[in-house]
Chains A and B, each alone.
Chain A
Amino acid sequence: MTKSDEDPIQSIWKSQPILTVSITPEAMRARAAQFETETRTRNKVDYVSFALVAVFFGIGALTVQGAVVRVGALLLAVWAVIGLYSVRRFHGLKAQRSTESSPSSCAAWYQQQLERQRDVALSRPWGIALALPGFALLLVGYVDNGVPWTASVLLGGLGLFGGVAVVIHGKILAGRWQEEINFLQKLRTG
């Protein structure tokens, strides 16, 4: 790239009209504080969502009629608690990553993003699978309690279809991202 300084295209690029920003350090700190508040709020919404599901099924496990339905509701409450723990762990890892001492190269950063997306896509089916026993027991229990079995089968079928769709979609996306990861890996080491 010996002629890079003389390349007219670089001159054209650099001669474009540009925006200017003037942000004082004080404004940066104010923005940082606001950003931190927003992040905490968003995290809390995640926790509260799982907590509400846990409480809902927890109360159901104590109050509804039929042992099978109760066990199903209890399993779903446990599933929500596990979800709550996973979300907390996810937020913790995010915070940990942000304290890394130096930024990644662009290729490494992009590869990390893809790997994270791939992992999320691949782990999603496990999250669904953990809810299945509770969901199945709930449906069986409803039939025991007199709810028409057709309604339970329909609900179960819909749930199963949705779960399978999520799994297949996740697999397809993960495969696509893995190809991109392999390409980047080759580029970085090549």
Chain B
Amino acid sequence: MEDDLTTVTPDTVDQDALYTRVAAEFGPPLARLAAAYETDPSRQQDLLQEIHFSLWRSFATFRNQCSLRTWVYQVAHNTASAYVRGQRRRRRMHLVSLEDLDELVHQADVERLMDDAAMRGKIKNLIERLKPVDRNVLLLYLEGLKAAEISDVVGISPSNVAQKIHRARKYLKQQFQSGVHHDQI
């Protein structure tokens, strides 16, 4: 976050209205973003508040330069990235994966809750080990954004985004399979 508040003054009514709208509309994705970056509940709450605060501040200068969705995700992800950099505890690693889990997930209906939680744990573990841009791509993919939208937010080409998503899915598939196998043993 920047160390200045000069952007916070004009047009406070619109700023407030916009923030209220965004908080309602993007509340869950923002909360999941905070959960992806921080597992400790109290620090997660702090990060989430920080993201909301950054968004509120940023709306003082929002003039439809891009779509509201792109704006929100850019501010939120940059705030979360700054938080991680501040924490100085993340490591670098390779890319991710997600796709062919379909069969495994559908087969394990009885254990669905446990498996979902385990899977989310694996995803979070992966996110923690990713480089910042890859982390952004995966999280936006998980939120259901298309490659073109992710490209707008992250600032890399759609083909690069697609490639990264493909790798992420592949990696997570392997992780999920090994996890289920281990649990079943």
Q: How far apart are A176's CB and chain B's nearest CB, in angstroms?
A: 11
Contact residue among B4, B35, B65, B142 (Cβ-Cβ distance under 8 Å from A98): B4
Q: Out of B7, B102, B119, B144, name the residue touching A99 (CB < 8 Å).
A: B7
Q: Cβ of B53 and Cβ of A28 under 8 Å apart?
A: yes
Which residues of chain B are within 8 angstroms of A154 by Cβ–Cβ distance? none
Q: Let me know if B144 and A106 touch, CB within 8 A.
A: no
Tell me whether chain B's interface is mostly helix, strand or loop, or mixed. helix
| Count of interface residues, chain A, beta-carbon cutoff 8 Å | 49
Point out the residue from A10, A28, A106 that lies within 8 Å of B74, measured CB to CB. A106
In the bound complex, residues from chain B placing their C-beta under 8 Å from that of A184 are 133
User: Which residues of B are at the interface with A, using a C-beta cutoff of 8 A?
Assistant: 2-8, 12, 15-16, 19-20, 23, 27-28, 31-32, 34-35, 41, 44-45, 48-49, 52-53, 56-58, 61-63, 65-66, 71, 74-75, 77-78, 81-82, 85, 98-99, 101-102, 105-106, 116, 119-120, 123, 132-133, 136, 141-147, 152-157, 160, 162, 165, 169, 172
| Residues of chain A at the chain B interface (Cβ within 8 Å) | 1, 4-5, 7-10, 12-16, 18-21, 23, 25, 28-29, 31-32, 35-36, 39, 42-43, 91, 94-95, 97-110, 113, 184, 187-188, 190
Please, could you name 29 A-B residue pairs with CB atoms under 8 Å apart, sorted by A?
A1-B162, A9-B98, A9-B123, A13-B32, A13-B120, A19-B31, A23-B56, A25-B15, A32-B5, A35-B53, A94-B2, A97-B2, A98-B5, A98-B7, A99-B6, A100-B61, A101-B61, A102-B61, A102-B62, A102-B66, A103-B74, A104-B74, A105-B74, A105-B154, A105-B155, A106-B155, A109-B78, A187-B160, A188-B156
